[in-house]
Structure 1
Amino acid sequence: MRKLLDGLYAASGWLAGLCMIGVLLMVLLSIISRNFGFSAPGTDAYAGYAMAGAGFLALASTLKKGEHIRVTLVLGALKGTSRKVLELVALLIAVVLSGFLAFYSCRLVWQSLEFNDISTGIDATPMWIPQISMAVGTIIFFIAFVDEMMLELLGKRPHTTDAEASHE
């Protein structure tokens, strides 16, 4: 199971990287089209979709690598049971919030598909298509928080030391 989850987080990170390449390609296409006098409509919209996809798809990978911003001032002062309780409460809140985010992201995709929502730009993209990356990213983010909570409950979650916390 650990190998599968780590593969999921890595794949999500790679997809985020591909989205960043997509942003680059859209910006380059926009620049080239202006310089050579041809039209490339919708490149700004597609760059925006790719940027949103990169942000959401990178959430879980970033969390699992310990790169999310954490306030460790209180946590660093606690030891033993009180620290474990605070970690579990924080993770429970994160699981609930990320679960809501994932649910409503999926709901948004479904509603966009159901109502045939299209972008207002010249590209007229069905909105459910770029919203899929947001929904997938938030689902994987939710899974990562559930994973972190289970690791904490089992006592297998690595904790930052005071030196590492002050470095952050």
Structure 2
Amino acid sequence: MTPDTSRGPASAGPAFDLLARITGVLTGAVLVALVLLVCTEAMLRGFANVSLGFAEELTGYAVVMLTFFGAALALRSGSLFQVHFLFERFAPATRRIVLRLFVVTALVISAVLAWKGYDLMASSLSRGKFAPTVLRTPLWIPQLLLPVGFLLIATFLVEQFLLCGRTPRGED
């Protein structure tokens, strides 16, 4: 049995909805920019044998951002890291316990990775490190994607934890 997603993912409140909407808009904009950049680079190379030079660096940053933000949105919609055929066989009370254990474990891991990502970013910022590329991007800028991405995932994990505490009507 597949959950009804015609009304969108379950929500723990308007703040989570707003954050999801902002994340979706940012993700969509970056995806469009990524496609345009890759197509432009491919056309320039194919027709004029010229390269933008910076396209590879920016596409790498965009892919990292899309990975984190996409994972957060997939987690929120309930389509990430779930073995439905096994999960659906559990009794509703067991499902809630398993979900709570997953959320708490994932939250701890996300918090540690966000903290370590922040340490890495702060170290690059304080030492003034730059990428050895055409753009000479200050490394703290792309490294900022790590703590932001893990905090976004952690935020939607908190929402999942709040939602798994609710008992739907007709269960138990």
TM-score normalized by structure 1?
0.80
Following superposition, the deviation at residue 75 of structure 1 comes to 2.8
Alignment partner, residue 20 of structure 1: 31
Alignment partner, residue 162 of structure 1: none
- RMSD of aligned alpha carbons: 2.3
Give 1:10's aligned amino acid.
R
SS at match of 2:59: helix
- Over 3 Å counting, the alpha-carbon distance change for 1:51 and 1:78 in structure 2 is same
8 Å CA contact 1:15–1:54 kept in 2: the answer is: no
| Gaps in structure 1 of 5+ consecutive residues | 160-168
Give 2:33's aligned amino acid.
G
CA distance in 1, matches of 2:85, 2:101: 16
Alignment partner, residue 136 of structure 1: 148
CA distance in 2, matches of 1:53, 1:41: 20
**How does 1:88-167 map onto structure 2 within 5 Å?**
88-155=100-167
CA distance in 2, matches of 1:59, 1:82: 25
Following superposition, the deviation at residue 68 of structure 1 comes to 0.9
Task: Tell me the number of residue pairs that the alignment of Structure 1 and Structure 2 aligns.
Answer: 157
Over 6 Å off, 4+ runs = none
Match of 1:85 among 97, 110, 113: 97
Q: Quick one: percent identity of the two aligned structures?
A: 23
SS at match of 1:148: helix
Q: For 1:61-101, what per-residue CA distance to the aligned partner results, in whole angstroms no more than 9, with x for missing partners?
A: 11111221312454333214333222211211111112222
- Over 3 Å counting, the alpha-carbon distance change for 1:83 and 1:57 in structure 2 is closer
Alignment partner, residue 19 of structure 2: 8
| Gaps in structure 2 of 5+ consecutive residues | 1-11
TM-score normalized by structure 2?
0.78
